Amino acid sequence: MELSAHLVSHLTAKGYEVVDHGPKVYDALDDYPSFCINAARAVVADQEAGVHALGIVLGGSGNGEQIAANKVKGVRAALAWNESTAKLAREHNDANVIAVGGRQHSVEEATKLIEFFLEEPFSNDERHVRRIGKIATYETTGEIVE
């Protein structure tokens, strides 16, 4: 919750529009999938409406949060654990959601990872566009494009 509260404040101060999809209070026994799915659905809805949107999902390791977000059609969630993975998620994969493990990083480290992700543009390189297209085809049709 400390990381989440910090990010809402920090990113808002940097000019980002932040929508917090919960939880509002810490509960060690809560079930994170609904929070991650709601955040991912909001990203997709904004993107479908023509609004530039990226999402952030947080957890202990970030693994389960990434998996939950990736169940939403149209989401490409990436687990970031260093500068390179955060930047490449955007540059090569046009990831629209970043997952970060709050128990894996200090608040300062996690904040930097998220900033790297938010600030990195997609390269639009043909090979990356092609690969993302193949993933999207499978996601929507079940067809594996060679």
pLDDT along the chain (146 residues), means of 10: 95 97 85 96 98 97 98 98 98 98 97 98 98 97 97
Residue 39 is predicted with a pLDDT of 98
* Active-site annotation, residues: 65, 92
* pLDDT at position 30: 86
| Coil/strand/helix, residue 108 | helix
Q: Pseudo-torsion of CA 97, 116, 21, 35, nearest 10°?
A: 50
Rounded CA-CA distance 53/126 in Å is 22
pLDDT at residue 28, rounded to an integer: 80
pLDDT at site 25: 84
pTM above 0.75, yes or no: yes
**What per-residue confidence (pLDDT) applies to 27?**
83
Fold classification of 2-141 is Ribose 5-phosphate Isomerase B; Chain: A, (3.40.1400)
- What 79-85 contacts at long range (C-beta under 8 Å, 24+ apart), as own/partner pairs, is 80/113, 80/114, 80/116, 80/117, 81/105, 81/113, 82/113, 83/112, 83/113, 83/116
70's CB contacts (< 8 A; 6+ apart) are: 40, 76, 77
> Is residue 33 classed as helix, strand or coil in its secondary structure?
helix
